[in-house]
């Protein structure tokens, strides 16, 4: 200090009393600041040391559980479908013509082979005349060929013309008289009596083509068509029982069984069409009705847990189940497979596992718990 003062030509002896007081106060303040900083550092170090040394108390969370159990049940597959006639056909003539006579009104039940519609007979009359003429020629030539008066070649020519005329006559006769190919109900006429019938290949969505004169449907039994997802196909086979409900008859159930599973899948929906045959003696089920179907699948033995054990993770949206093992919690991600009332079949749970039903929102993987009101169903 003395050397520094000498640089500026100042000596301690020349310092005034006021200057000496200023230096003294500055030194005192520096000492106080140092002491305060040291005290703060010592306090912080003591706090950190106390936190490291003191043990953290472990708390147990109280939960309630139920026991996952394996049981045998009959699973059901819920589907929707549409009612169709067991058989349907649009009947018409093989060539254009005038409709001469319609024998029954719409809604009439007719039996197989009954005459439904008669067409005008001009073409039939022409074919019949030609047929009868060639028939006489054939019979005469057949007698002459036996005596050798007519050659075998001439006989063959006459026989060929007669055979062609016979086929033409039979075709005209069949197309003039339209008969029921199976027993059913006349549901619609696409042409009226007295009109000229022409071939027309339009299509009505969900049904057959609209070409024809009369539409015939077999309504006892009926069939319900449903689409089966690819993952469920292994469980579906003909003979499985089905329960069908329709909006027209709330509260009523109609029972049937699968009669056909088509052997291919749609390339767009990846589903296969199955047909369920249902007796319909009173014909209350009508084609076009919307149907809700419950299919009774083969019996299975699987592990069930209560629905209230499911916890949905709000961050991942995954479904979880918390299982208690040795007083600790193990979180398992699960996926629903089937259900029966308030019980669920899920993946990842074994028979005998204690699943948390009460308090699941307060636990996580590894949490220590204490079980109360344990319900082992």
Q: Which fold has domain 62-73+301-371?
A: 2.40.420
CA-CA distance, 140 to 157, in Å (whole number)?
A: 13
Q: 341, 333, 318: which is closest to 365 by C-alpha? A: 333
In which region does residue 75 sit, left (phi positive, over 0), alpha (psi from -120 to 50) or beta (all else)?
Answer: beta
100-151: per-residue pLDDT in tens?
899 999 999 999 999 999 887 777 778 888 888 988 888 888 888 887 788 8
Contact (CB, 8 A) for 175 and 184 = no
CA-CA distance, 258 to 12, in Å (whole number)?
A: 119
In sequence order, what are the residues at sequence separation of 6 or more whose Cβ sits closer than 8 angstroms to the Cβ of residue 101?
117, 118, 193
If you search the block for the tokens 């089920």, which residue do you land on? 285
* Angle (deg, nearest 10), helices 122-147 and 152-176: 160
Q: For every one of its 377 residues, what pLDDT tens digit does the chain have, with 9 covering 90 and above? A: 444 444 444 444 444 444 445 445 544 555 555 455 455 544 545 545 444 443 434 578 999 999 999 999 888 889 999 999 999 998 887 777 788 899 999 999 999 999 999 887 777 778 888 888 988 888 888 888 887 788 888 888 888 998 998 988 887 777 788 899 999 999 999 888 888 776 655 555 555 556 788 999 999 999 999 999 998 898 899 999 999 999 999 999 999 999 999 999 999 999 999 999 999 999 999 999 999 999 988 888 999 999 999 999 888 888 999 999 988 999 999 998 888 888 999 999 999 999 999 999 999 889 999 999 754 44
Superfamily of domain 219-299: Efflux pump adaptor protein, beta barrel domain (2.40.30.170)
Q: Which fold has domain 89-197?
A: OB fold (Dihydrolipoamide Acetyltransferase, E2P) (2.40.50)
What are the start-end ranges of the H helices in 193-329? none
CA-CA distance, 187 to 201, in Å (whole number)?
A: 19
What is the DSSP-derived secondary structure letter of residue 112? Answer: T
In sequence order, what are the residues at sequence separation of 6 or more whose Cβ sits closer than 8 angstroms to the Cβ of residue 188?
106, 214, 215
CA-CA distance, 367 to 59, in Å (whole number)?
A: 9
Contact (CB, 8 A) for 148 and 123 = no
Q: 355, 312, 275: which is closest to 63 by C-alpha? A: 355
């Amino acid at each position: 200090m003395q050397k520094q003062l000498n640089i500026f030509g100042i000596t301690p002896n020349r310092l005034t009393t006021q200057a000496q007081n200023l230096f003294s106060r500055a030194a005192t303040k520096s000492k106080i600041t140092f002491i305060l900083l040291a005290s703060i550092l010592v306090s912080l170090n003591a706090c950190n040391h106390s936190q490291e040394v003191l043990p953290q108390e472990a708390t147990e969370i109280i939960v309630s559980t139920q026991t996952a159990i394996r049981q045998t049940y009959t699973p059901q597959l819920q589907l929707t479908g549409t009612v169709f006639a067991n058989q349907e056909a649009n009947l018409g003539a093989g060539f254009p013509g005038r409709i001469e006579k319609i024998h029954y009104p719409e809604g009439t039940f007719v039996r197989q082979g009954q005459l439904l519609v008669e067409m005008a007979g001009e073409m039939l009359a022409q074919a019949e005349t030609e047929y009868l003429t060639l028939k006489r020629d054939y019979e005469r030539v057949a007698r002459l060929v036996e005596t050798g008066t007519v050659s075998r070649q001439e006989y063959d020519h006459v026989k060929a013309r007669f055979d062609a005329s016979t086929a033409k006559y039979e075709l005209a006769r069949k197309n003039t008289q339209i008969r029921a190919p199976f027993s059913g109900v006349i549901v619609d006429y696409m042409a009226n009596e007295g009109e000229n019938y022409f071939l027309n290949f339009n299509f009505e969505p969900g049904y057959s083509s609209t070409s024809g004169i009369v539409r015939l449907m077999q309504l006892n039994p009926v069939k319900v068509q449903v689409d089966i997802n690819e993952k469920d196909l292994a469980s579906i086979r003909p003979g499985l029982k089905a329960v069908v409900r329709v909006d027209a008859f709330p509260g009523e159930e109609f029972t049937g069984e699968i009669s056909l599973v088509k052997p291919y899948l749609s390339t767009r929906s990846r589903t296969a069409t199955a047909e369920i045959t249902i007796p319909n003696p009173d014909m209350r089920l009508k084609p076009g009705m919307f149907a809700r179907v419950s299919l009774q699948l083969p019996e299975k033995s699987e592990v069930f847990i209560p629905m209230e054990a499911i916890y949905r993770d709000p961050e991942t949206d995954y479904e979880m189940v918390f299982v208690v093992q040795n007083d600790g919690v193990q979180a398992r991600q699960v996926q629903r497979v089937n259900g029966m009332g308030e019980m669920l079949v899920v993946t990842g749970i074994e028979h005998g596992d204690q699943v948390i039903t009460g308090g699941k929102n307060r636990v996580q993987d590894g949490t220590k718990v204490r079980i109360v009101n344990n319900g082992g169903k």
